[in-house]
A = this chain, B = another copy of it.
Amino acid sequence: MENFTFLSPTKIIFGKDTELTVGEEIKSLLSQEYVPAGAIHPSSLTLRRTGKSPLRFKILLHYGGGSIKKTGLYNKIKKSLKEQGISAIELPGVKPNPRVSLIREGIKLCRKEKINFILAVGGGSVIDSAKTIAIGVPYKNDVWDFFTRKAEIKKTLPVGVVLTIPAAGSEASNSSVITNEDGFYKWGINSDLIRPKFAILNPEISYTLPTYQTSCGISDILAHLIERYFSPVENVDLTDRLIEGTFKSVIDNALIIKKNPKNYAARAEIMWASTLAHNGLLNTGRNIGDWASHRIEHELSAIYDIAHGAGLAIIIPAWMKYVYKENPKKFTQFAKRIWDIKEKSPIKATLKGIDKLENFYKKLNLPTSLSQAKIPEDCIQEMAKKCVQRGPVGQFKVLEKDDVLEILKLAK
């Protein structure tokens, strides 16, 4: 087991009607005499009393395309904020692959309005955008500096989350991935300081997600588990067991949701799994995962209009078929413990395990080949080239351009 540090200070507020407590939660957080290290103390910004009136706070309410208005979530949140005397400046319009241009706009807005807290209502894109605005406000130069490693994250506004899509796991993670339209770079940052202060997770909110989006989210969760499971570092028994348990729970409950999208228990299991799959717990003891599939998938979604989770369902089985010989023992463990394969031959067990995963994606109506997703073959050369532009990808097996090409061919 490798040395590690693990810090996961996000307060998880989980369950029915928990979104109604958002105002209370923010007020309690901002009224505290001290806020966590690295965070800006609210009093240094806009904590102010007007005469004898109670403390009043002004926050940024950050969200996406407005589906929260259709579902009624927006009104619930506004009501909860109002009840606690919290006013909200709004910045909607976050898109999948959140853009640095909107983030720059958010930073200016926060400074102008003297905002001391950002509430992200949405999925991974909205949360990542909020995290990035939060580090940009106290930083005097351009926020993209953090992504080019010109600047180090030292301060942040506090961020809170009301989650709408169990998928990316950003609600308790230390990372944010942002797209810079100037050159279409999609880069990430990591820091424990950007972990949200709280995350409100009400599984009922996910009832209204379209079936396909639910499936893509589930695929994303599984991918986070797979990328960590197939680490190049020696086995860590406990971490493996925790990943396996989470994996089994996700696949069982995904099939329940498929039959009954309003099964609360199953929605709850998936939502909690999405957070645990990406908050760092399942990295403990070996720190690094593989992440080649994410890198290859990114090339797909950069060119074609395909959801991240769908792209992963195409790439991961192909990646597995290409790399399993690196560590057949680990793949046999995957097949036996997760898919209950009894096959004695390690190779046969492995292939059956991969087959089971592919079938699972099919059950969720996700594409498992480029052709199913209507992605033409003639682009795979270009995708492979772009994928390794900044050097080889992957850790379980380090992949050069030709390796990526082979994987894309296996995905045809």
Contact = CB atoms under 8 A, between A and B. Distances in A.
Contact of A36 (B1, B17, B36): B36
B241 A245 contact: yes
Which range holds the interface residue count of chain A?
35 or more
B265 A1 contact: yes
A6 B275 CA distance: 12
A153 interface: no
Nearest to A1: B268
A264 interface: yes
Nearest to A9: B9
A11 interface: yes
A26 interface: no
Contact of A244 (B38, B245, B268): B245
Residue in A18, A203, A237, A248 whose Cβ sees the most chain B Cβ within 10 Å? A237
A299 interface: no
A398 interface: no
Nearest to A270: B238
Query: Which one of A13, A16, A36, A37 has the greatest number of beta carbons of chain B within 10 Å?
Result: A37
B12 A9 contact: no
Given A1-B265, A37-B34, A273 B238 contact: yes
Interface string A226-245: 00000000101110011011
Interface string A32-44: 1111111101000
Contacts of A37: 29, 32-36
B253 A248 contact: no
Interface in A271-288: 272-273, 276, 281, 284-285
Nearest to A39: B34
Given A14-B5, A265-B1, A284-B14, A242 B246 contact: yes
A269 interface: yes
Nearest to A17: B3
Contacts of A41: 33-34
Given A14-B4, A34-B41, A237 B253 contact: yes
B11 A272 contact: no
A252 interface: yes
A7 B11 contact: yes
Interface string A16-54: 111000000000010011111111010000000000000
Given A284-B272, A285-B268, A249 B241 contact: yes
Contacts of A272: 1, 238, 284-285
Contacts of A6: 11-12, 14
A305 interface: no
A67 to B, nearest CB: 24
